[in-house]
Amino acid sequence: MNHTAHFAVLAALLFAGAAAFAADSKGKIEKHTVTLKSGKVLEDAVLLDQKPNGITLGYKDGATFVPYTDMPADIQKHFGYDPDKAASYEKKIETQKAANKKAAEKQKAKEQKQKAEQDKRNKERRIAQQEQKVRKLELELEEAKKKLENTENTVSQDRGALVSTLSNNTRVRVDTPFGVGHIKTGSNNSAVRNKLMKEVDTLSVKRDNQAQDVIDLQLKLESAQKTLEKLKENNQ
């Protein structure tokens, strides 16, 4: 049955103050005010849909579903209201809702599991990256300590050579334009002393800078190790 014919049939339901729907001979839909058994008033009501347990009405303020139980008995009868069919339909709807809810819960559980697995992989990746960072800092610190040790040894040797220049007839190993050689460092060899003093000063500055590098790397390593421990604790 098309909508025009449907509304024409409903026109016969206008009685005793109960409003329904009607169409004129040209098929134009007429709108009416409908008062439900609950007392709710629907202005400019028209039929939108029909189900075994009720009808959907469009009205001035929107649309609403009206169960047959909220309609007068005569209108219920006209629409062929069958309580058993209505109950069966509602049971089917509830079953479908339950199935949908179960499917939604299953999907949610699946997504939560996937998220947990991804979070675990992300944590493991961050731990691996932090372990690499710690290892790199350990190697850098080890190398920095070796450089500092070598510089300290050189400073010590140059200081020893410098002290020896204070004694006459002492031979000191020095670099010359012709290669490495030894010269006497008597009191008249002030040039040798000056050169050694300059080298000691330069190397002392270098040693101090390298010592600071060692300290900085130790602090970075300690911070990286603490971060690694925290990441591992959070991953347990």
**pLDDT (tens digit, 9 = 90+) per residue, 181-235?**
554 545 455 676 677 778 778 888 888 999 999 999 999 999 999 999 999 998 8
Q: What is the pLDDT of residues 133-183, one digit of tens each?
A: 999 999 999 999 999 999 888 878 777 766 666 555 455 555 544 454 554
Q: What is the C-alpha separation between 75 and 28, in angstroms, rounded?
A: 22
- Which pairs count as long-range contacts for 223-230, CB under 8 Å and 24+ apart, including other chains? 224/130, 224/133, 224/134, 224/137, 225/134, 227/130, 228/127, 228/130, 228/131, 228/134
Give the pLDDT band of residue 121 (cuts 50, 70, 90). very high
Pick the CATH number of 3-81 from 3.50.50, 3.30.390, 3.90.105, 2.30.30: 2.30.30
Give the pLDDT band of residue 32 (cuts 50, 70, 90). confident
> What average pLDDT does the segment 86-93 reach?
94
Q: Taking 50 as the threshold, does the pLDDT of residue 14 lie above it?
A: no
> Which residue reads 């190993």 in tokens?
173
E strand or H helix at 57, and its extent? strand 54-59
The CATH class that applies to domain 132-234 reads mainly alpha
Q: Taking 80 as the threshold, does the pLDDT of residue 119 lie above it?
A: yes
Query: Can you say whether the dihedral through the CA atoms of 130, 136, 138, 140 is positive or negative?
Result: negative
**Nearest Cα residue to 160 out of 177, 181, 185, 178:** 185
- Kindly state the DSSP code that residue 169 receives in the 8-state scheme: T
Per-residue confidence (pLDDT) for residue 74, from 0 to 100? 82
For the chain, where do the domains classified as CATH 2.30.30 start and end? 3-81
Q: Taking 60 as the threshold, does the pLDDT of residue 28 lie above it?
A: no
Per-residue confidence (pLDDT) for residue 47, from 0 to 100? 86
Q: What is the C-alpha separation between 11 and 61, in angstroms, rounded?
A: 22
For the chain, where do the domains classified as CATH 1.10.287.370 start and end? 132-234
Two structure tokens written together for 204: 């002392």
Q: Taking 90 as the threshold, does the pLDDT of residue 87 lie above it?
A: yes
Q: In 10 A of CB 217, how many CB atoms? A: 19
Per-residue confidence (pLDDT) for residue 16, from 0 to 100? 29
**pLDDT above 70 as % of the chain:** 72
Q: What is the C-alpha separation between 200 and 194, in angstroms, rounded?
A: 10
Per-residue confidence (pLDDT) for residue 19, from 0 to 100? 38
Sequence letter at residue 5: A
- Kindly state the DSSP code that residue 17 receives in the 8-state scheme: T
Q: Taking 60 as the threshold, does the pLDDT of residue 22 lie above it?
A: no
Two structure tokens written together for 26: 């040209």
> What average pLDDT does the segment 44-63 reach?
90
Per-residue confidence (pLDDT) for residue 234, from 0 to 100? 87
Q: What is the C-alpha separation between 89 and 201, in angstroms, rounded?
A: 98
Give the pLDDT band of residue 42 (cuts 50, 70, 90). confident
Per-residue confidence (pLDDT) for residue 24, from 0 to 100? 44
Two structure tokens written together for 230: 């925290």
